[in-house]
Amino acid sequence: MRQFHRAVQRYSLGAIDQSEYPSSPETINLSLPWWRSHLVGYLLSPVWVGFMTLAALFIDEPLLIWIPFCILTLMSCFLWGIGPALLSMTLALFTLYYIIIPDQRLFAHNIWKDIHLLGPFFFVQMVITLLAASNTRQYRRTVAVTKELRAALRDLSALNRELTRTQRQEYMFFMRAAHELRTPLTTILGETQLALRRLERARPLPSESATCLAHFEHIEKRAQGLHALVEDLIELYHVQEEINPPTLSPCNVSDICTELTMQQHQLSGRGFKLELPHEPVIVQANKERFHSALTNIIDNADRYASLSTPICVCVHADANNACIYVHNEGAELSAEQQEHIFEPFYRTPTAERTYQSGRGLGLTISKAYIEQYGGSIMVKSPPGEGVTFLIELPIQKITS
């Protein structure tokens, strides 16, 4: 169930990005342009040899007559592959022997001179041929690996589409179930509260009625918890789907933090250290939702702080952002816990062990509220330094 809730959060916050995967892996084109096909290379090789032969005829220095043909083989090698390169080299040898060599009077009397003249040609041609063979082999390996990647990408794209569809269906089912639960829960809660009021008016109660009163009180408590859970789920759905966008107004961060710390101190008796700037810090937000977001964060810090340690709430403003720090001296969070702390229904092992009450939705809703106003929230927990929540919201400039 927890994995499902994490998947819902990933989908709703856009963690699964459809643009990361092509809709049709077949659109990946591995073929070369038509002018780089082997057939074009075979057809153009004689033409290239003819042009290089004309260039070689104008070279008076015998030591340089092989350079145009080396250039030809090199270009054929990397443009069309080893086949056209070997054809170009063969045609170049015949051209040298029947056209170029007679004019240069090679192979006449001094064989060592001929080797000196043509040796570099054969050496370079062999090196180019080996390079062509290596390049072709590497290309074939690349094509084979790319085909495997294409097949894997096709499977991954299909799985991603199926996962997205399934997650969306489960998410919608979950939200519809929450909406369907709201009405009967409201009825159960209303009838229970009505029964409690009637029993309260009938005091003193006989023993049997007193037992019924205790049962009704227990039912009311459980129904209120379940009703709050359903309302949180519906509210989270509305925020993430941008249903009924809130009305924004200027909110004084310092005043809201002062009010919330006083309320939390009255509820839990926890001490608070409040640091506020001298000037008002104004942000544009929905006051009710912003108040709820900060309440969840401060209550969370109070709930998991070490005994007798104060909660530090600091408000700071720079040129562009209002920053709110909420720090407690509780057990630090691991890197994995920090990664999942804002996911729906996620609770740390410490919270599970200590049986702290909570539904695992408060921080999720707070994050959704804050991001709705263009802000951000993060958690930091260095070893041995407690836990700090950092909230940043765009500040509203006060114009006179």
Dump pLDDT digits (tens) for 188-233.
888 888 888 888 887 777 777 788 888 888 888 888 888 877 877 7
DSSP run (H or E) holding 312: strand 311-317
Least confident of 8-12, 242-246, 280-284, 324-328: 8-12
Q: What is the mean pLDDT of the chain?
A: 77
Cα 343 to its chain centre, rounded Å, is 15
Q: Per-residue confidence at 379, pLDDT binned at 50, 70, 90?
A: very high
Please tell me which residue, 120 or 44, carries the higher pLDDT value.
44
Residue corresponding to tokens 């009397």: 109
Q: Which strands form 376-380's sheet, in the order they lie side by side?
A: 272-275, 311-317, 321-328, 387-394, 376-380
Could you give the CA distance from residue 11 to residue 150 in angstroms, rounded to a whole number? Answer: 25
Per-residue confidence (pLDDT) for residue 8, from 0 to 100? 38
> Which backbone phi and psi does 393 adopt, to 5 degrees?
-135, 145
297 close to 363: Cβ distance less than 8 angstroms: yes
User: Please, are residues 212 and 243 in contact by the beta-carbon 8 Å criterion?
Assistant: no
| 120-135 mean pLDDT | 70
177 or 262, greater pLDDT: 262
Closest CA to 55 of 73, 68, 46, 42: 68
Q: Quick one: pLDDT at residue 111? A: 62
- pLDDT tens digits, one per residue of 95-125: 776 776 665 554 555 666 666 666 666 677 6
pLDDT digit string, tens, across residues 224-281: 888 877 877 777 777 776 667 778 888 899 999 999 999 998 988 889 999 998 888 8
CA-closest candidate to residue 299, choices 376, 356, 237: 356
**CA 78, CA 36: separation in Å to the nearest integer?**
9
Question: What is residue 250's three-state secondary structure?
Answer: strand
3-state secondary structure of 79: helix
DSSP 8-state secondary structure symbol assigned to residue 395: B
For residues 129-133, average pLDDT: 69
Q: How would residue 344 be classed by pLDDT, with cut points 50, 70 and 90?
A: confident
DSSP assignment of 314-381, as one string?
A: EEEE-SSEEEEEEEE-SPPPPHHHHHHTTSTT---HHHHHTT----S-HHHHHHHHHHHTT-EEEEE-
Give the model's pLDDT for residue 54.
79
Per-residue pLDDT band for 325 (boundaries 50, 70, 90) equals very high
Give the CA distances from residue 58 to residues 47, 63, 97, 100, in Å, rounded to whole numbers and listed in that order. Answer: 18, 13, 17, 10
Cβ neighbours of residue 146 closer than 8 Å, sequence gap 6 or more: 28, 30
Query: In the predicted model, what is the mean pLDDT of residues 26-47?
Result: 72
Q: Is 287 exposed, middle or buried (0-12, 13-18, 19+ CB in 10 A)?
A: middle
Between 92 and 6, whose confidence is greater? 92
Q: Which has more confidence, 34 or 281?
A: 281
